[in-house]
Amino acid sequence: MTKTTTMGSLRELQKLDRRMSEIRSRIRDFDPLLAEVEEPALRLEDEHGKASTRLEQMKTDARRLERSADDKRARAKKLEERQTQVTNLREETAVKTELEMVERSIEADEQEAMQLLEQVRQNELLVEELQEQADAARAEVLPRQEELLGERSGLDESLAELSARRDTLLGMLGTRERQVYESFHGSGRAVVVAALTEDGACGHCFGIVPLQQQNEIRRDEGLHRCEACGVILTSEPEEELDPEPVVPAGSDDSGASSETDDVEASEASVDS
């Protein structure tokens, strides 16, 4: 691989990484947008879920009261049978007192059960109403949600295409160039390759490069890095990036269309 080809690949890698960083930023913007769009439906679904939980608890309580009343009725029946078998006044009084207490308890359970059943009926109506409202809200937000998901899917596809192109460019580099680039880029630095200025300075930190190194860079002899900031130096002037800003997700402009143009421009630049 010639020096020119190596530097060209390094510069294209840098442009691809910048574009991929922009796309990742846009993809991250979709999460709060989707949450905002879904909020009305999610709120109603949450209310419906809580109301359904309360309703099930009320039904459980009603069944518990019904079992308790059944047990007490069975107890009352036994007391009534026992009352016919008592042999003295003292025993009769005791059975009668216990029977009256059980009957009062049954009456209290029945009263509580009736109130609870009324609450169950009211909550059943509430749950049904909330379900209808939640379904309507979900249907209302679904088109916008699908639109956002479609846009994000398009960005994911663009990112995958650029990532594949990046892997191809990395494969075209020598081991040393690839290691230097990946190590420097992996540290979080946005600029890995910079052009030598006309007056012999680093195009990134503008530190003066030694004269001998300047000549070697201009003659494309070896891989040279700035002693001050560490970027790879080249004599090739840097091409201007696309001046159009990345359109934020959810804006009035067509995000998918804009991103398609950006990707096509980037790929055209790489292929050239």
pLDDT in tens, 12-51: 898 899 999 999 999 999 889 888 998 999 899 999 999 9
- Fold for 1-173, please state it: Helix Hairpins (1.10.287)
The ranges assigned to domains in the chain are 1-173, 191-242
Partners of 6 in beta bridges: none
Q: Is it the case that residue 92 has pLDDT exceeding 90?
A: no
Q: Is it the case that residue 156 has pLDDT exceeding 90?
A: yes
Burial of 271 (0-12, 13-18, 19+ CB in 10 A): exposed
Q: Is it the case that residue 261 has pLDDT exceeding 60?
A: no
Average pLDDT over residues 83-108: 86
Q: What is the pLDDT of residue 239?
A: 53
Q: What is the pLDDT of residue 238?
A: 56
* Other residues' Cβ atoms within 10 Å of the Cβ of residue 44: 19
When pLDDT is cut at 50, 70 and 90, the band that residue 165 belongs to is very high
Q: Are strands 224-225 and 193-195 parallel, antiparallel or unpaired?
A: unpaired
When pLDDT is cut at 50, 70 and 90, the band that residue 157 belongs to is very high
The reported pTM is 0.55
Of 21-30, 109-118, 218-227, least confident by mean pLDDT is 218-227
Buried b (16+ CB within 10 A) or exposed e, 167-200: eebeebbeeebbebbeebbeeeeebbbbbbeeee
Partners of 233 in beta bridges: 194, 224
